[in-house]
Structure 1
């Protein structure tokens, strides 16, 4: 079968499936290597958008296994130990994290992403029609996978993807049974795949206690504030607990310590206050290596015996006297010398 004649048929089946009303049951294995997309990700919401509920738990393990059930909009995903990751009855969905109450949301918030679980869903037409995306490489061949008739073929790299991807598509359902990147030893695949089995509705129900999406958002905000406070305390313990102010009382208090290292004492932090737009402060062990943080604003660099320092302020300029005053707060008793690294 040539790719010119078979590709449209395969594409239609991958996108439309057999009406999407069939039931699916099986196991999905993901060996993510260094490349496989859909295993890691983040998200953002705007306005009144629903909080997404992901079918994968985004584990960073080299290999993961998930047990899955789906019939129409109803979905259940469990990890390899049988702990639920996501359940949906077609109207509501419950995202489950071990050791925490499930978060309840709308079924419309379900996203088939994480650890290869995108294989539970049919593909979007835009995935193959966007300019610069993949085209078949060579012939679309008949194959057998998990004892089922299938098509197998390769797709050319996308404009942002340097690697060829190999797909095996179930001929009956249009579900991708295997997607792999041989160049980086990455594969997502069904290792067990059953179609049109009767599935108990109890699989898609959660009757225990839950958190609402609003309650979960409030919990996350509390966690973020606690983490912010912990990092600020690190700064006070390892750098200085003195208020970082100049003679004009511009508040340069540390708002967030982005990175720090207990072994070297290096850190990067954001500065700010009620009447100050903001800035950045960093230090590293003294070195002759370049240290270009690409900060804008009013940037100053200097060194002490053990460290290189750098500060950047926005909409505010430090005079030499103000800079010396700040240096005295940061490292009292240690004179600042001219920064000599590249």
Structure 2
């Protein structure tokens, strides 16, 4: 009977020799997001077939008509937009981007650390590993257990010669990615590169951020002209109740935090015996400070400043003239 470790060693770090073929994907997605740099880009590639070449972490993906989609030579990655073939691809360090388009379920390379540390389909179920054939090639079929947050296991088919993942399927969810043609390939490392004009990922991010800022300003200008001020304040009552005390001192000092009932607003609260010494809580400068007869207090709501009315409510809520000990 085949041991899981044998299959795992074959899969780690991608195919051991160059392979090529056509990968077909069936799922409910209508496209995918590609992260390169700080800003995601949505590329409208529906599930379907793509032509691929892969060797270890090197990857090349084209549409069936030869339109380029993705390149990674190990050191760099190039992301093309098939809907705008005249535009240069976005160039990024290879370590900063992973292919997430059609066929990603069998083309994403997982290294040994990921297999060892993650619980996301990294351990076989109790079902034995099968020795089978796929596209006429000797293969293993293994069922991987789902983590607690996911309902169904997945089934992988792994090529015994190269360690390439030939198929991933989850019949319960109606998801499948599989080779429909597969072979070993005779390609040079340069096959996975692109040597034409490119757009650096930092330049692409700057352009997208500038476009977003211009669009936001235009929307705010329209709102101001046709509706009313784009910036306004509302008096809100936020009930807090999920309290955590992070530190308690014998002199009554403490640091704590509390969350709103809905969990969307978090407030930090601290006090110490009244003192003229500096009090560095490593909080933002907009935190609110006050003192009573016995203590110095500090409060900070994550995300927006406390106004005078809210600070007054806090002072009234925690007003106490009798010194407080740790057991009170």
Regarding TM over 0.5, the answer is yes
Residue 67 of structure 1 pairs with residue 51 of structure 2: yes
Q: Distance in 1 between matches of 2:213 and 2:55?
A: 40
Contact 2:78 2:92 in 1 (8 A): yes
For each residue in 1:263-312, what CA deviation from the matched residue of structure 2 results, as whole angstroms up to 9, or x when unmatched?
xxxxxxxx7xxxxxx999xxxxxxxxxxx987659xxxxxxxxxxxxxx9
Q: Per-residue deviation at 1:228?
A: 1.5
**Residues 53/131 of structure 1: CA separation in 2 closer, same or farther (3 Å cut):** closer
Aligned to 1:147: 136
Aligned to 2:26: 31
Aligned to 1:6: 3
Q: Distance in 1 between matches of 2:151 and 2:191?
A: 40
SS in 2 for 1:184: coil
For each residue in 1:304-334, what CA deviation from the matched residue of structure 2 results, as whole angstroms up to 9, or x when unmatched?
xxxxxxxx97422679xxxxxxxxxxxxxxx
For each residue in 1:233-261, what CA deviation from the matched residue of structure 2 results, as whole angstroms up to 9, or x when unmatched?
45336632x465xxxxxxx3xxxxxxxxx
Residue 84 of structure 1 pairs with residue 79 of structure 2: no
Residue 316 of structure 1 pairs with residue 307 of structure 2: yes
Normalised by the length of structure 1, the TM-score is: 0.59
Aligned to 1:218: 206
Residue 95 of structure 1 pairs with residue 72 of structure 2: no
The count of corresponding residues between Structure 1 and Structure 2 is: 245
Give 5+ residue unaligned stretches, structure 1.
45-50, 245-251, 253-270, 272-277, 281-291, 298-311, 320-342
Aligned to 1:194: 183
Contact 2:33 2:43 in 1 (8 A): yes
Q: Distance in 2 between matches of 1:239 and 1:181?
A: 50
Aligned to 1:300: none
Q: Structure 2 residue aligned with 1:124, among 111, 126, 145?
A: 111
Q: Distance in 2 between matches of 1:211 and 1:236?
A: 36
Contact 2:154 2:169 in 1 (8 A): yes
What RMSD over aligned residues (CA atoms) do the two structures have, in Å?
3.9
Aligned to 1:162: 151
**Residues 153/279 of structure 1: CA separation in 2 closer, same or farther (3 Å cut):** farther
Q: Distance in 2 between matches of 1:194 and 1:316?
A: 67
Structure whose CA Rg is larger: 2
Normalised by the length of structure 2, the TM-score is: 0.61
Q: Distance in 1 between matches of 2:262 and 2:226?
A: 22
Q: Per-residue deviation at 1:141?
A: 0.9
